[in-house]
């Protein structure tokens, strides 16, 4: 493992965890985020710690294959879900999991979010699927989440919350904000007859644009 890269990822995960905390996407110690170091290791937030008091060294280095970890702090119990995603999706380098209010509202109703917003389909890749209800921190949850995320950058987890992925942790963070807003729009649309779906052709165009042409690249 490249120790320099591991240190940089610890700094990135710690500062992103603090911004996430102050953004209101999580409450208390709920939610967790991670960044990939390489094909065998990730850095993830520790279990049950206050985000406000975290420092970069508290971010836990975890082996993606064995889930063994370095240091005295235990990793988030959802490390198994994060590692399963990194193993399934080589292009993913950052993951954010929240229990944000609107996403959890839709997840608690066990509904999916149809493709109704431009930024949703652009960044998340289309309809937001729902991972089936499972116990947190289990292989079953990992399997269900990986399945719901296929060809997507975001999914809901039944009665639990939301998860987003990105080529960088910053991209996963943007995904979480877009997913939370999309869930709110979806709920609001129910009171005026429901949202109108964007066509598959347009979804493909928008998502391809975001993945390949958007920004300063």
Do residues 153 and 123 touch, judged by C-beta distance below 8 A? yes
Question: What DSSP character marks residue 199?
Answer: P
**Distance of alpha carbon 82 from alpha carbon 165, whole angstroms:** 10
d(CA 31, CA 47): 10
User: Angle CA(12)–CA(17)–CA(19) in degrees, nearest 5?
Assistant: 95
- For residue 73, the cross-strand partners are none
Rounded Cα distance between 134 and 141, Å, is: 5
Catalytic-labelled residue, pool 68, 70, 78, 140: 78
First to last CA, the chain: 28
Q: Is 78 a catalytic residue?
A: yes
H helix intervals, the chain: 3-23, 79-88, 101-108, 118-119, 139-148, 169-189, 200-212
**Which residues are tagged catalytic?**
78
């Amino acid at each position: 493992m490249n120790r320099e890269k591991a240190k940089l990822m610890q700094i990135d995960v710690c500062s992103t965890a603090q911004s996430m905390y102050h953004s209101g996407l999580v409450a208390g110690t709920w939610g967790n985020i991670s960044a990939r170091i390489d094909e065998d290791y990730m850095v993830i937030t520790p279990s049950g710690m206050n985000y406000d008091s975290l420092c970069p060294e508290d971010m836990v280095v975890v082996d993606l294959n064995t889930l063994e970890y370095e240091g005295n702090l235990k990793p988030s119990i959802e490390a198994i879900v994060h590692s399963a995603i990194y193993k399934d999706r080589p292009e993913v380098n950052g993951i954010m999991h929240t229990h944000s209010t609107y996403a959890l509202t839709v997840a608690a109703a066990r509904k999916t979010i149809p493709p109704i917003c431009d930024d949703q389909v652009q960044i998340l890749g289309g309809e937001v699927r729902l991972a089936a209800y499972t116990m947190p921190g289990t292989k079953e949850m990992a399997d269900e989440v990986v399945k719901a995320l296929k060809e997507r950058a975001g999914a809901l987890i039944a009665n639990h919350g939301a998860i987003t992925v990105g080529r960088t942790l910053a991209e996963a963070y943007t995904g979480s904000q877009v997913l939370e807003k999309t869930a709110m729009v979806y709920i609001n649309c129910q009171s005026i007859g429901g949202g109108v779906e964007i066509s598959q052709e347009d979804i493909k165009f928008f998502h391809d644009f975001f993945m390949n042409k958007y920004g300063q690249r």
